[in-house]
Amino acid sequence: MIGAGFLKNLISGKGSDIIESVGNVADKFITTPQERKEFDAEIQKELNRHTEALVSEATKETEMYLNDMSNARAMQITALQQDDKFSKRFIYYLAIGIITMTFGFDTCFFFVDYPARNHDIIMMIAGTLNSTGFAAVIYFFFGSSKGSADKQKQLDKLSK
């Protein structure tokens, strides 16, 4: 059974201490250089398998994100083919509304004196508008950042 100390070390980022401990225990049971080579080879195989699994999961997550973005853009292409002007322009009205609401709410910080008891909820609303709403509009129209594109290239290179 896994002990609480082991889990605490693993969660707190002390993985190197755990690896060192496993190596020390292995040294007690490995008696020949051949056994040491076999043990090292097995450890390396397991590390490689774990790394491949992590890269695979990261790639799947990125693919899901990109698929979601392409579906939203495909929806907009379909909307633009309609005759109804409101349907064609709805996404632009929504984007303008979110951006206006975000800038309006942020501007209120300079002119409105909010009660101290409402500080936390005001900050939550501001954080949501700025980080989620405004950023989603920008990402929808202009795509993700270059850092994200570089990360995707790196993941593609690692997966090959």
pLDDT at 1 (0 to 100): 38
pLDDT of 154 above 80: no
Arithmetic mean of pLDDT over the chain? 78
CA distance to 50, 57, 59, 60, 158, per residue, from 64 (Å): 21, 11, 9, 6, 18
Q: Which residues of 45-76 are buried (b: 16+ CB within 10 A; e: fewer)?
A: eeeeeeeeeebeebeeeeeeeeeeeeeeeeee
Alpha-carbon 160 to chain mean position: 21
Q: Give residue limits of the domains in the chain.
A: 15-159
Structure tokens at 131: 């980080």
Name the range with the highest mean pLDDT among 47-51, 119-123, 133-137.
119-123
pLDDT digits (tens, 9 = 90+) for 99-115: 999 999 889 888 888 88
